[in-house]
Amino acid sequence: MDDVAVDILNALGVKPAGFSINGDGGATYPAAVVAKEVGRAQAGDVVICHGNHPNGGTADGMKQSLDKLLAAGLSFTHLP
C-alpha cells in the first residue's frame, strides 16, 4: 500500500491494515497447504483467506488448522 492510498484511507476515517500470512494463495491452495500456512500463525499475525471460491481448499484447510491454533492459546477476531 502506498502513501497516497494511506492518505485517502485516513481522510475517509478508515484504518489501513495489512497481513502477515497469505493463508490460501488467493483461494488457489489445496486444503493441506492452507492448513500448513494458517497453522504457522502466531500471536499478532494477520492471516488473509478468501471465501469466494467455495470449491477451493480454504474452508477445509482452515478446519484442519483451527484445533492446533486454539490449543496453542490463540484467539481470533475480525478486522472491521
Which tens digits make up the pLDDT trace of 2-57?
Answer: 999 999 999 999 988 889 999 999 999 999 999 999 999 999 999 999 988 888 99
pLDDT at 77: 87
Cell of 71: 490449543
Cell of 30: 489445496
- Given pLDDT bands bounded at 50, 70 and 90, which one contains residue 78? confident
pLDDT at 36: 97
Residues in the chain, total: 80
| Entry pTM | 0.81
The stretch 57-79 carries a mean pLDDT of 92
The stretch 56-61 carries a mean pLDDT of 95
pLDDT at 51: 84
Please return the burial class of 61, using the count of CB atoms within 10 Å of its CB with bins 0-12, 13-18 and 19+.
buried
